[in-house]
Amino acid sequence: MPNTDTTTNDTSDHLALNSEHTQKYNQAIRREKTKALVLVLPLLFFLIVFFITPIGYMLYRSFYNPTVANLAPKTAEILTQWQDISKLPNEETYKTLAYEIQQLQKSRLSGKFAEEVNRRLPRTGSVIKRTARKIKEIELDNVKNYQELLTSLHEKWGKPEIWTGIRSASDKFTINYYANALDYKLEPSGEIVKQSEDMQVYLPILQRTFTIALIITLLTFLLGYPVAYYLSLIPLKKASILLIFVLLPFWTSLLVRTTAWIAILQSNGVINQSLLSLHIIDKPLDIIYNQFSTILAMTHILLPFMILPLYSVMKGIDSSYVRAAQSLGANPFKAFIQVYFPLSLPGLSAGALLVFIISIGYYITPALIGGVDGQLISNLVAHHMRSTNNWELAAALGSVLLVLIIALYWIYDRLVGASNIKL
Amino acid sequence: MKKLKLSLLVASSLLSANLVAGELTVVSFGGAYGAAQKKHMIDPYIKETGTKILFEDYSGGVAELKAQVESKNVKWDVIDIEYIDVERACSEGMLEVFPHDKLPKGDDGKAGKDDFIPAAIGNECAVGNIVWSIIFAHKNDLKTKPKTVADVFDTKKIPGKRAFRKRPQVNLEWALMADGVALKDIYKVLGTEKGVKQAFAKLDTIKKDIVWFDSWSQAPQLLNDGGAVIVQSANGRIYSAIKKDKSDFNIVWDGQVYDLDGWAIPKGSKNKEEAIKFILAATKTKPLAGMQDVAYGPTRKSSESLIAEEVKPQLPSAHLDKGIKASAEFWADNGSQLGEKFTAWLIKK
């Protein structure tokens, strides 16, 4: 038994030593981790402030819009009691709204109120604005019948429709912007219906964006692969000189490169002038401000993103594999397809993914030379940010794009494997 | 952490340093018009008061203004705004109310409020600055020259690109004019759903021949470098290209949509008092008369005697019967809705 005891003691001693070690070891690890954490702290801070917060806020803004409820809180509240929407709301509702519109007009916020309601129910903005202009001068305390008053200011107050518009616009949370971003609309009754034919724009544009991005990816592959292949074969010294020609455009300002395309492609630009003077054509070709020029310029701009990863991968491919394949009887073509090409795939995946994702979010080039049919989804997001001030819709469009890209990346990861990317 | 706080403090104090009083940010449309404003309004005011003025460009519309006001980050103190936008901007609370009763007497001694043409002070937020017009222009070497708005929409008669400003304003009015709607009925027809359809249908007929631009300064440039054979433009830009750059352009007044521009103060401007002082000085008789440099008419009656004889036929007021006045009220009511329709139309093939 003592024997066992000793053993136990021994073991426990051993264990004690071990746990002490483990503790020290853990401490050391923790210290290292803290050090690492401190080192990445600036980056983490940067990411949270400039990346995660804005994206989070964007997602939030895409379905949260309290403007109407804040501008006319009493009307918003009283309208929640309005049950039968086929009938007009009661006199109290008319009175509340009349007072609130007058108040808004005096503080010059009626226009904002009208615009917000108009987003939910088109053609009601002008009704509210006209009413607000007229109601300003009216002494509301002396009015006997507010329903009559409002209806006399604009006949649309005599129909329930505009009230349903105001009510649904007072919802603080709405999926209307997502519906809009996918060419649907949320009816005031709560039903989601397809937009009318002439207002369906976002899905066709999304489709166009993806098609153009695919075309550009394909073109950069066709143009870039041979270049990268050639660069990887020639001596390093020569290659680095030639690489400058790939990198030079990469270092040139995006605006300069796009503007250069304008000089080349415009009606009296280099191409048209030469063709005209050679009598090949008798009137200038339409080769700018359309989809064609967008694809052309973007392919040019994004080409280095394809060439560089391809080159770095091809550089590392041992040429003896291809030689081995050939010595085993494969013809040069077969050796290339079955041996070399698969080996270059990591570079191709990286290049294709880079080009594709960058082109999906591209903005400047289509904005400058895209004309009308070269506009991409980011141009619409910018349009809603800058021109219509419909930030909620811009946010919803942005979120849709984000989700699509994540979904695509997921599919890509499934098919090719994200670990297969080599930059 | 302390250092971080300190550096943040330094950074923020550096940022706020350019908000010190005695500084004013004035924005307008640049180009020849901006140069005339600088010469007759900005520079004299700087000389007189020693105020530091930052004179910047923007391309019009209410979007940038709205973004600044709504994010409560107002960088502009004085803004030159087209009257077609002012009603909307004012009713949506983007502008400060301007004290019109402070407007000084004209040089002929007439009280300020009586000296201005009524439209110039018709909106409580702005003071009229110029009477200008949107016209179309072409090069004189064009084979068949456009005479009417209908010609602009006739690509068989005059082939080639037309350059329009990328917004529904004026384009819809022109489409109806070209489609034969009487001048006096334009806004009445455009106020109906049928009229809007009619206007877009007319625009459809030349859609593929339109080049769209964002800023007025692009108009003479497009005409010059052959980007378009007919351009929509502010009359002053073409006038100045003809006069200063000796361009061989011609202005056609048929279908002109004339409008006012005015000075206004963005809501929440950090230098409101200074901004009011500037506007009061910039809209005196003499500075307003100086806008004849770019063929824009004055908004004070007392300035008219200072207009040179040779400029008079180049002012929009000499051709009133050929066009219409832009309706600020119509665009305030329908601007956002037609804007949405316009964008959707633009994107569709």
Mean pLDDT of chain B: 91
- The Cα of A49 is separated from the nearest Cα of chain B by a number of Å equal to 14
ipTM for the assembly: 0.74
pLDDT at B38: 97
Q: Which of A105, A112, A199 sits opposite B344 (nearest CB)?
A: A199
End-to-end CA distance of chain A: 65
The two tokens of residue B336 are 């956002």
Residues B168 and B55 in one domain: no
Rounded Cα gap, residues A344 and A337, in angstroms: 10
Residues B213 and B337 in one domain: yes
Contact A125 B336 (CB under 8 A): yes
Rounded Cα gap, residues B146 and B280, in angstroms: 41
DSSP 8-state assignment for residue A350 = H
Contact B334 A388 (CB under 8 A): no
pLDDT at B336: 83
The residue of B333, B338, B342 whose CB has the most chain A CBs within 10 angstroms, and thus the best one to mutate to test that interface, is: B333
pLDDT at A12: 52
Rounded Cα gap, residues A140 and A149, in angstroms: 9
Residues B71 and B173 in one domain: no
Q: Is A52 exposed, middle or buried (0-12, 13-18, 19+ CB in 10 A)?
A: exposed
pLDDT per position as a tens digit, A187-230: 877 788 998 888 889 999 999 999 999 999 999 999 999 999 99
The two tokens of residue B81 are 């705004």
User: What percent of chain A has a predicted confidence (pLDDT) above 70?
Assistant: 95
Q: Which of A132, A133, A205 sits opposite B347 (nearest CB)?
A: A205
Q: Which of chain B's residues have a Cβ under 8 Å away from the Cβ of A115?
A: 92, 336
pLDDT per position as a tens digit, B280-330: 999 999 999 999 999 999 999 999 999 999 999 999 999 999 999 999 889
Q: To the nearest 5 percent, what fractions of chain B are helix, strand and coil? A: 50, 20, 30
Is residue B170 included in any domain, yes or no? yes
pLDDT band at residue A1 using 50, 70 and 90 as cut-offs = very low
Where residue B160 falls (left for φ over 0; alpha for ψ -120 to 50; beta otherwise) is left
CATH number for B137: 3.40.190.10
pLDDT at B18: 44
Q: Which of chain B's residues have a Cβ under 8 Å away from the Cβ of A123?
A: 337
For A285, list phi and psi in degrees, rounded to 5: -75, 145
Residues B96 and B186 in one domain: no
Q: Which of residues 180-199 of A touch B (CB under 8 A)?
A: 198-199
Nearest to B297, CA basis, from B47, B120, B145: B120
Rounded Cα gap, residues A9 and A6, in angstroms: 5
Rounded Cα gap, residues B270 and B25, in angstroms: 10
Q: Which of chain A's residues have a Cβ under 8 Å away from the Cβ of B161?
A: 267
Nearest-by-CA chain B residue for A111: B92
At which residue do the structure tokens 């309005």 appear?
A82
Q: Which of B64, B91, B332 sits opposite A108 (nearest CB)?
A: B91
Q: Is the pLDDT of residue B208 over 70?
A: yes
Residues B80 and B141 in one domain: no
Residues B145 and B126 in one domain: no
Residues B235 and B277 in one domain: no
Is residue B39 included in any domain, yes or no? yes
Contact A123 B337 (CB under 8 A): yes
Rounded Cα gap, residues A257 and A344, in angstroms: 29
The stretches of B154-271 forming alpha helices (DSSP H) are 171-178, 186-190, 193-204, 218-224, 235-243
How many helices (H) and strands (E) are present in chain A, helices listed first?
A: 21, 2
Query: Cβ neighbours of residue A411 under 8 Å, at least 6 residues apart?
Result: none
- The Cα of B318 is separated from the nearest Cα of chain A by a number of Å equal to 33
Mean pLDDT of chain A: 88
Rounded Cα gap, residues B27 and B59, in angstroms: 10
Is residue B9 included in any domain, yes or no? no
Nearest-by-CA chain B residue for A265: B227
Does residue A417 sit at the B interface (CB-CB below 8 Å)?
no
Nearest-by-CA chain A residue for B125: A108
Query: Cβ neighbours of residue A403 under 8 Å, at least 6 residues apart?
Result: none
Is residue B1 included in any domain, yes or no? no
Residue of higher predicted confidence among A69 and B4? A69
- Give the β-pairing of B324-325 and B162-165: unpaired
Q: Is the pLDDT of residue A7 over 50?
A: no
Rounded Cα gap, residues B2 and B20, in angstroms: 27
Q: Is the pLDDT of residue A6 over 50?
A: no
Rounded Cα gap, residues A204 and A207, in angstroms: 5
- SS3 for A321-390 is HHHHHHHCCCCHHHHHHHHHHHHHHHHHHHHHHHHHHHHHCCCHHHHHHCCCCCCCHHHHHHHHHHCCCC
Residues B143 and B187 in one domain: yes
What pTM does this model have?
A: 0.79
Contact A130 B211 (CB under 8 A): no
Q: Which of A108, A199, A373 sits opposite B93 (nearest CB)?
A: A108
Nearest-by-CA chain B residue for A201: B344
Rounded Cα gap, residues A374 and A363, in angstroms: 11
Residues B196 and B244 in one domain: yes
- The Cα of B236 is separated from the nearest Cα of chain A by a number of Å equal to 25
Q: Which of B93, B336, B343 sits opposite A118 (nearest CB)?
A: B336
Helix (H) or strand (E) holding B340: helix B328-347
Within a 10 A sphere around the Cβ of A85, how many other Cβ atoms? 14
Contact B336 A383 (CB under 8 A): no
The stretches of A252-290 forming alpha helices (DSSP H) are 254-265, 270-277
End-to-end CA distance of chain B: 57
Is residue B282 included in any domain, yes or no? yes
Task: Catalogue the E-assigned strands of A149-225.
Answer: 184-186, 192-194
pLDDT per position as a tens digit, B215-254: 898 999 999 988 899 999 999 999 999 999 999 999 999 9
Q: Radius of gyration over alpha carbons of chain A, in Å?
A: 33
Residue of higher predicted confidence among B172 and A85? B172
Contact B344 A375 (CB under 8 A): no
Q: What crossing angle do the helices spanning A110-120 and B328-347 adopt, rounded to 10°?
A: 30
Q: Is the pLDDT of residue B48 over 70?
A: yes
Q: Which of residues 308-367 of A touch B (CB under 8 A)?
A: none
Rounded Cα gap, residues A56 and A46, in angstroms: 15
b/e B236-254 (16+ beta carbons within 10 angstroms → b) = bbbbbbbeeeebebebbbb
pLDDT per position as a tens digit, A80-132: 888 888 889 999 999 999 999 999 998 888 888 998 898 888 888 889 998 99
Residues B317 and B334 in one domain: no
Residues B43 and B106 in one domain: yes
Q: Number of A to B CB contacts under 8 A, please give it.
A: 91
Is residue B213 included in any domain, yes or no? yes
At which residue do the structure tokens 């706020």 appear?
B16
Rounded Cα gap, residues A316 and A228, in angstroms: 12
Q: Is the pLDDT of residue B191 over 50?
A: yes
Count of domains in chain B? 2
Within a 10 A sphere around the Cβ of A18, how many other Cβ atoms? 12
Q: Which of residues 239-298 of A touch B (CB under 8 A)?
A: 266-268, 283, 289
The residue of A107, A126, A180 whose CB has the most chain B CBs within 10 angstroms, and thus the best one to mutate to test that interface, is: A126
Is residue B16 included in any domain, yes or no? no
In this prediction, residues A317-336 reach a mean pLDDT of 91
At which residue do the structure tokens 């073991």 appear?
A11
pLDDT per position as a tens digit, A341-377: 999 998 999 899 999 999 999 999 999 888 888 899 9
Is residue B5 included in any domain, yes or no? no
Q: Is the pLDDT of residue A170 over 80?
A: yes
Rounded Cα gap, residues A130 and A343, in angstroms: 69
- Most confident range, picked from B13-27, B155-169, B328-342: B155-169
pLDDT at A8: 47
CA distances from A319 to A232, A233, A324, A331, A343 (A): 10, 9, 9, 15, 11
Within a 10 A sphere around the Cβ of B310, how many other Cβ atoms? 8
Nearest-by-CA chain A residue for B225: A268
In this prediction, residues A395-400 reach a mean pLDDT of 93
CA distances from B81 to A206, B259, B265, B323 (A): 35, 11, 10, 21
Q: Which residue range(s) make up the domain with B269?
A: 23-132+260-321
Residues B165 and B303 in one domain: no
Q: Which of A267, A387, A388 sits opposite B227 (nearest CB)?
A: A267
> What residues pair up with B26 in beta bridges, in sequence order?
B55, B78
Q: Which of chain A's residues have a Cβ under 8 Å away from the Cβ of B63?
A: 386-389
Does residue A125 sit at the B interface (CB-CB below 8 Å)?
yes
